[in-house]
């Protein structure tokens, strides 16, 4: 290959330099610089200074609990002594027969005779201080040998007014003349001393201390509870009887309010716990003090529930758990005991006295319970 022609006109010392060779070295350095700068920029861009470095948290230490299995036997286990169930065993005793021929006992003592000997007349008067409403001491050998005292009371509803006139029975007000007549008969015929204790309402708490009451009027709903307490506590009631006019009007039942009181507030059932029955002629009431051999005397009015006007001697008694708690009182023609307008009323008054004595001395009465405490 022929050499390139070079003019010698402008020959110089630098004419022999190769520019391509010199430029090629510069180009290589430029390319390397650009590549190195790009790499550095890429590295810088790839590193984010705001990025949060995730630090790996190491797992905390854990404790392993090992539950120990219970032992099959305890080193200090106590032996339990078995307790047997108690049983009620009735002790049987064989009593030897008493030889009464050697004792020679000829007297029979009762509780009533002991009370009669322990309470004298002086002590009875000392008991009449207003605390007790009745104290009756009986003689076991003489039914008429009574001593003591009794307080009779009239019980009425809130709508009644006390009135001492004989016209009170017709007007509907209270009439205490009956109690005065009964007190006079008891004081005259018996050894008891009878007084008038006053008038009370059906809801009065003092009613529970009176052994015998003579109610009048219809009680209110709020007074029925105290009436039930009175009958269940040993009280006795002399109810208002029915006269001829009331029978003609169709009135027959005089125990309605007492039935209602026992059923509502006493929880009793009629026919099982309380009932009404006719008193037979041999009932102890007819011989409690006077011997009324023919039963109830015929008077000017009847005795409660009866079927015809001729059955005036039939006495219907009101029984609560076997105890006689109420009987109707026989009234005269004008509605007062002892007033018969010419009719003999002695037997009627004797019947009332017998009723009062029987009510005081029968078992379960208020007076009998009091006598047991006094003894």
Which among 362, 247, 260 has a CA at the least distance from the CA of 312? Answer: 247
And the tokens for 132? Answer: 């007790």
What pLDDT, on the 0 to 100 scale, is given for residue 122? 53
CB 287 within 8 A of CB 280: no
Range with lowest mean pLDDT among 51-60, 195-204, 308-317, 329-338: 329-338
Give the domains, in start order, of the chain with CATH numbers. 151-364 (3.40.50.12140)
Q: What is the pLDDT of residue 3?
A: 53
Please list, in sequence order, all residues whose beta carbon lies within 8 angstroms of the beta carbon of residue 234, skipping any fewer than 6 positions away: 211, 364, 365, 366, 367, 368, 369
Closest CA to 234 of 325, 321, 137: 325
Instruction: Give me the torsion for CA of 354, 359, 360, 362, rounded to 10°.
Output: 110
Is residue 172 pLDDT above 50, yes or no? no
- Which residue's structure tokens are 């006139």? 165
Q: How large is the average pLDDT for residues 323-335? A: 68
Q: What is the pLDDT of residue 159?
A: 64
Q: Read off the pLDDT band of 337 (50, 70, 90).
A: low
Condensed to tens digits (0 to 9), the pLDDT of residues 234-274 reads: 889 888 765 555 555 545 567 778 888 888 888 888 888 88
User: Measured in whole angstroms, how far is the alpha carbon of residue 260 from the centre of its chain?
Assistant: 18
- Predicted confidence at residue 141, as pLDDT, reads 81
Check residue 35 and give its pLDDT: 93
> pLDDT tens for residues 64-123?
888 887 776 666 666 777 777 777 776 676 655 545 444 343 333 344 444 444 555 556
Per DSSP, which regions of 113-178 are E strands? 134-139, 142-156
Who has greater pLDDT, 356 or 365?
356
Q: Which has more pLDDT, 198 or 302?
A: 198
| CA torsion, ordered 246, 250, 255, 261, to nearest 10 deg | -110
Q: In the 8-state DSSP scheme, what is residue 325?
A: E
> How much is the pLDDT for 294?
59
Backbone angles phi, psi at 221, to 5 degrees: -65, -35
pLDDT at 17 over 70: no
- Asked whether the beta carbons of 354 and 289 are under 8 A apart, the reply is yes
Mean pLDDT of 51-76: 76
Residue 190 has pLDDT above 90, yes or no: no
Percent of the chain at pLDDT > 70 equals 60
Q: Which pLDDT score, from 0 to 100, does residue 36 have?
A: 92
Q: What is the mean pLDDT of the chain?
A: 72
CA 21, 22, 26, 29: dihedral to nearest 10 degrees? 60
Say what the pTM is: 0.59
Question: So what's the pLDDT on residue 215?
Answer: 84
Structural contact between residues 199 and 173, judged by C-beta atoms closer than 8 angstroms: no
At residue 123's C-alpha, the angle toward residues 373 and 192, to 5°, is 90
Q: Which of 97-101, 343-347, 363-367 has the highest mean pLDDT?
A: 363-367
Share of the chain above pLDDT 90, in %: 2
The whole-number pLDDT of residue 202 equals 87
Higher-confidence residue: 135 or 340?
135
In residues, how long is the chain? 375
Residue 298 pLDDT > 80:
no
Taking alpha carbons only, the member of 125, 166, 104 closest to residue 333 is: 166
User: Among 284, 275, 368, which Cα is nearest to 325's?
Assistant: 275
Q: Mean pLDDT check: name the lowest of 91-105, 283-297, 339-353.
A: 91-105
Contact 180, 197 (CB under 8 A): no
In DSSP terms, 192 is beta-bridged to 148
The DSSP bridge partners found for residue 327 are 238
- Sign of dihedral through CA atoms 74, 75, 78, 79? positive
């Amino acid at each position: 290959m022929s050499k390139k022609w070079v003019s010698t006109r402008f020959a110089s010392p630098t004419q022999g330099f190769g520019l391509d060779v010199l430029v090629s070295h510069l180009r290589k350095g430029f390319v390397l610089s650009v590549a190195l700068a790009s790499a550095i920029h890429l590295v810088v861009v790839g590193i984010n200074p705001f990025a949060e470095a995730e630090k790996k948290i190491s797992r905390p230490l854990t404790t392993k609990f090992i539950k120990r299995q219970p032992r099959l036997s305890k080193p200090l286990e106590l032996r339990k002594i078995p307790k047997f169930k108690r049983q009620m065993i009735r002790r049987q005793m064989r009593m030897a027969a008493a030889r009464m021929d050697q004792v020679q006992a000829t007297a029979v003592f009762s509780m009533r005779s002991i009370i009669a000997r322990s309470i004298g007349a002086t002590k009875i008067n000392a008991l009449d201080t207003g605390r007790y409403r009745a104290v009756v001491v009986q003689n076991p050998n003489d039914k008429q040998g009574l001593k003591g005292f009794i307080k009779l009371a009239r019980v009425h509803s809130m709508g009644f007014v006390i009135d001492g006139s004989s016209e009170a029975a017709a007007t509907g007000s209270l009439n205490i003349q009956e109690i005065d007549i009964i007190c006079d008969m008891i004081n005259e015929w018996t050894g008891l001393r009878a007084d008038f204790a006053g008038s009370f309402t059906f809801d009065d708490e003092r009613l529970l201390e009176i052994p015998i009451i003579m109610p009048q009027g219809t009680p209110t709903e709020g007074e029925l509870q105290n009436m039930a307490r009175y009958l269940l506590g040993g009280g006795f009631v002399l109810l208002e009887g029915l006269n001829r006019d009331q029978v003609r009007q169709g009135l027959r039942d005089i125990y309605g309010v007492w039935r209602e009181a026992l059923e509502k507030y006493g929880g009793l059932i009629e026919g099982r716990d309380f009932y009404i029955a006719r008193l037979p002629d041999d009932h102890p009431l007819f011989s409690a003090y006077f011997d009324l051999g023919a039963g109830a005397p015929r008077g000017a009015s009847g005795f409660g529930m009866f079927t015809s006007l001729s059955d005036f001697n039939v006495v219907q008694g009101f029984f609560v758990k076997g105890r006689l708690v109420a009987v109707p009182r026989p009234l005269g023609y004008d509605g007062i005991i002892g007033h018969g307008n010419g009719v003999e009323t002695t037997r009627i008054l004797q019947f009332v006295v017998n009723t009062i004595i029987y009510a005081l001395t029968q078992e379960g009465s208020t007076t009998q319970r009091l006598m047991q405490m006094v003894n």
